[in-house]
C-alpha cells in the first residue's frame, strides 16, 4: 500500500500503576510524561491514545512503550482502526479540545 494510502490506526495505552511510595509516584509520573512526549493524548487519567500511520507505526509505538514500562503495575495496549475509534461514544463529560479535532487534523498539527 503506498504511503499516502496507509490506514490510520489508534493505539490506546491503559495502565494501573502503584503510587503508594515516593518512588512509585515518580515512576508513574515518568511513564505518563513518556507517553505525552511520544505523542499520546490523555483521554482519562490512566488512558492515553495516539494516532499512528498504519500497522508499522502502531508496532513502532508499542515497542517504544514496552521499552519505557515502569517496573511494576499493569499496562495494556489496544490497537483500533480510525473507523472503530470514530464509533466510540462519550457517555459522560466533554471531549478534550485535541480529541474533538479527529485524527486527520491531529496529524497536521
> Is residue 37 a known part of a binding site?
no
Domain residue ranges of the chain, discontinuous segments joined by +: 3-108
Among residues 78, 6, 67, which one has the least CA distance to residue 43?
78
User: What is the residue-level pLDDT of the chain in tens, covering all 109 positions?
Assistant: 455 456 899 999 999 999 999 999 999 999 999 999 999 999 999 999 999 999 999 999 999 999 999 999 999 999 999 899 989 998 998 887 777 665 554 444 4
Q: Which CATH number fits domain 3-108: 3.30.70.240, 3.30.70.370, 3.40.30.10, 3.40.50.720?
A: 3.30.70.240
**What SS3 state is found at 77?**
strand
Amino acid at each position: 500500500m503506498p504511503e499516502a494510502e496507509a490506514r490510520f490506526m489508534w493505539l490506546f495505552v491503559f495502565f494501573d500503576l502503584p503510587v503508594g511510595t515516593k518512588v512509585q509516584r515518580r515512576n508513574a509520573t515518568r511513564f505518563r510524561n513518556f507517553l505525552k512526549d511520544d505523542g499520546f493524548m490523555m483521554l482519562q487519567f490512566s488512558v492515553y491514545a495516539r494516532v499512528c500511520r498504519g500497522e508499522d507505526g502502531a508496532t513502532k509505538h508499542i515497542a517504544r512503550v514496552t521499552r519505557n514500562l515502569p517496573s511494576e503495575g499493569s499496562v495494556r495496549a489496544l490497537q483500533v482502526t480510525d473507523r472503530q475509534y470514530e464509533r466510540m461514544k462519550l457517555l459522560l463529560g466533554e471531549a478534550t479540545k485535541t480529541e474533538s479535532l479527529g485524527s486527520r487534523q491531529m496529524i497536521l498539527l
